[in-house]
């Protein structure tokens, strides 16, 4: 039998032949999960910034107090510095939240057949003491077209022969260049376990 030659296409539209209502619901549930993790990650960064700024502010006040003492009273100067800090923190927090929500709002999804699979093992770390596997999937979305570089993280290595020819759903967030496979209805739990790795630059997919 002649092997089909697939053309790699950009994930710049939805490919949804034969997709079910349940699968679409899973996609939107997954998008909410991703956005939640991104927001929590962003809020942690903001908290770190505020803590550092709060520690540094008294030092800054002391260093410049002498030069401003003849213009402003010490109490008023300190109050003004704290007001500026809080306003800057509030504005930065609101802007970061809006930016994060917008980045994860726009996405595409696709359903197709797995035609290729590569697995790579990552050594143990604090989050995954036994290590983990990153599976890179090529998904045929039509008789002649396929999507590449779709990731799926798991505790175990997949046997290639068991997955070639199986159906899978993928979701792509273009603003962060992240493609992720969704399979077997286990994605919510699986995403919680491997979300840290998904946000590392080395594990983000690139455009075709």
pLDDT tens digits, 97-119: 777 777 788 889 999 999 999 99
Average pLDDT in the chain: 75
What DSSP state is assigned to residue 203? G
pTM of the model: 0.65
Between residues 45 and 164, which one has the greater pLDDT?
Answer: 164
Residue 175: pLDDT band (50, 70, 90) is confident
Round to whole Å and give the CA distance between 182 and 180: 7
Residue 62: pLDDT band (50, 70, 90) is low
Residue 48: its H or E element = helix 21-68
Between residues 205 and 37, which one has the greater pLDDT?
Answer: 37
Region 161-172: what's the mean pLDDT?
Answer: 88
pLDDT at 9: 93
Place of tokens 């946000």: 199
CB 172 within 8 A of CB 178: yes
Q: Residue 158: is it exposed, middle or buried by C-beta count within 10 angstroms (0-12/13-18/19+)?
A: middle
């Amino acid at each position: 039998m002649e092997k089909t030659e697939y053309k790699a296409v950009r994930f710049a539209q939805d490919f949804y032949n034969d997709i079910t209502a349940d699968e679409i619901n899973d996609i939107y549930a997954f998008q909410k999960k991703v956005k939640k993790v991104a927001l929590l990650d962003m809020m942690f960064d903001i908290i770190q910034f505020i803590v550092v700024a709060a520690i540094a502010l008294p030092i800054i006040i002391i260093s410049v107090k002498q030069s401003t003492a003849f213009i402003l009273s010490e109490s008023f100067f300190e109050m003004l510095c704290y007001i500026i800090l809080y306003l800057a923190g509030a504005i930065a927090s609101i802007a970061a939240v809006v930016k994060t929500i917008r980045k994860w709002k726009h996405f595409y999804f696709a359903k197709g057949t797995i035609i290729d699979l590569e697995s790579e093992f990552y050594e143990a770390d604090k989050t995954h003491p036994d290590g983990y596997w990153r599976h890179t999937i090529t998904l045929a979305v039509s008789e002649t077209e396929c999507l590449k570089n779709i990731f799926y993280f798991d505790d175990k290595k997949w046997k290639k022969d068991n997955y070639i020819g199986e159906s899978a759903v993928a979701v792509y967030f273009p603003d962060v260049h992240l493609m992720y496979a969704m399979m077997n209805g286990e994605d919510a739990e699986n995403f919680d376990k491997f979300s840290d790795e998904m946000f590392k630059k080395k594990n983000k997919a690139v455009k075709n």
